[in-house]
Amino acid sequence: MSTSAQQSREWVDGFLFVGNQLALDFLNTRLVNEAGPVELLPDTASLVRWFIAGGLVKARGRDLAAPAWRNSQGTRRLLDDLLVFRERLRSTVLRMETGKKPEPAFLEELNQKLLAYPHRYVVVSGRSSARRETYLDAAANPSELWRELADSAAHLLTDVPVARLRKCEGCVVNFYDISKKGSRCWCSMHLCGNRAKVSTYRRKQRAQEA
Ligand SMILES: [Zn+2]
């Protein structure tokens, strides 16, 4: 695969999808660069773009992009709630990475969402065989977007082996290491991986010059 093809798979519409897991990709909508934290979900329009970029509201994407939906009070409230949840999920993931269990208060919050918005799906015919597709009617009720996110957070807490839950060695990006050897260190070779290689190279050069 060419470098530009790989890069375009990692970035979709300005969002990073390198987590191999939706809830982790959601955490990665808040990044930190040299200038400080960068919020990739500053408004409801970007929230809609993220769900569409993640392939979660394909059929109803056009409805959600409508200004009336974006500007509704329900959508604004949903964004506020999601961002608070995102940071609690981040703390939980960081705890788990250090071998601790999730806080009971977080599990309670997650369980409330799971019971209020159980995951629903329909079967649709795919290219070669039928496949399941999440069913949500977010155009009618913005809160429906919880169905996918709560399910994914539950999957993250229960199905992803903690040893494979990683934070990039060079930045704040979280990912699920699905590499065969379990030796992935970087969010992306195009971001931190390359930066690390360049600084090692420079260090070696400086050592040779000294
Ligand atoms: Zn990184």
pLDDT tens string 42-89: 999 999 889 888 877 755 555 676 777 788 899 999 999 999 999 999
As for how many domains the chain has, the answer is 1
> What is the CA(46)–ligand 1 centre distance, in A?
22
Q: What is the pLDDT of residues 77-131, one digit of tens each?
A: 999 999 999 999 999 999 999 999 999 999 999 999 999 999 888 898 988 899 8
Residue 203: pLDDT band (50, 70, 90) is confident
pTM given for the model: 0.86
In angstroms, rounded to a whole number, what is the distance separating the alpha carbons of residues 146 and 120?
Answer: 11
- Token digits of residue 91: 């703390």
Q: Do residues 63 and 193 touch, judged by C-beta distance below 8 A?
A: no
**Domain residue limits at 114:** 3-209
Residue 177: pLDDT band (50, 70, 90) is very high
> What is the CA(76)–ligand 1 centre distance, in A?
30
Instruction: Assign residue 152 the CATH number of its domain.
Output: 1.10.3300.10
> What is the CA(170)–ligand 1 centre distance, in A?
5
> Taking all residues of the chain, what is their mean pLDDT, rounded to a whole number?
87
User: Does an H or E element contain 89, and which?
Assistant: helix 73-97
In angstroms, rounded to a whole number, what is the distance separating the alpha carbons of residues 15 and 29?
Answer: 7
Q: Do residues 134 and 121 touch, judged by C-beta distance below 8 A?
A: yes
